[in-house]
A = this chain, B = another copy of it.
């Protein structure tokens, strides 16, 4: 079957989403399930990426969430210092979560808290030397592994892919005010 359009045939390797879409076409031929071809793949790939990152960071004794916070600080540049509010906007988590994360990173000696001299409600969180060393090592390692994951695509294909993804992302990053 599906002989009526030679679109998707030929012996291209198929993934779980191909099977999923085929099952839906069988069960709900009345619906157009094309959107799943893109968006289910995005979700599933993200899930696999999460696991791959977990494995990568294990060697550096870092959890994914620790890495997320530390990289946000590292990216900020000298003196590697941000407010909790800036951190939660960068990492897309809520304020309760961020407080908890900072507590644990402080206990682990990777970040430091100090009162904001210009706003007495506020706090500033900064990287310790140990934190900076850990994140720099882990980040270099992560990039190596991510390059491997992308090895199946040529340079131009990667650029095409990131361009298409950007188009989907722009509306979110424009209108979204982040989590509170």
Q: Contact residues of A with B, CB < 8 Å?
A: 12-18, 20, 23-24, 26-28, 31-39, 41-50, 74-77, 92, 136, 139-140, 143, 146-147, 149-150, 152-153, 157-162, 164-174, 176
Contact = CB atoms under 8 A, between A and B. Distances in A.
A178 B35 CA distance: 24
A167 B153 contact: yes
A158 B47 contact: no
B35 A147 contact: yes
A32 to B, nearest CB: 7
A12 B77 CA distance: 26
A39 B35 contact: no
Number of identical protomers: 2
Contacts of A92: 44, 47
- Chain A binding surface, main DSSP class: helix
A72 to B, nearest CB: 9
A38 B35 CA distance: 20
Contact of A166 (B18, B140, B174): B18
A164 B171 contact: no
Contacts of A170: 13-15, 152
B169 A27 contact: no
Contacts of A35: 143, 146-147, 149-150
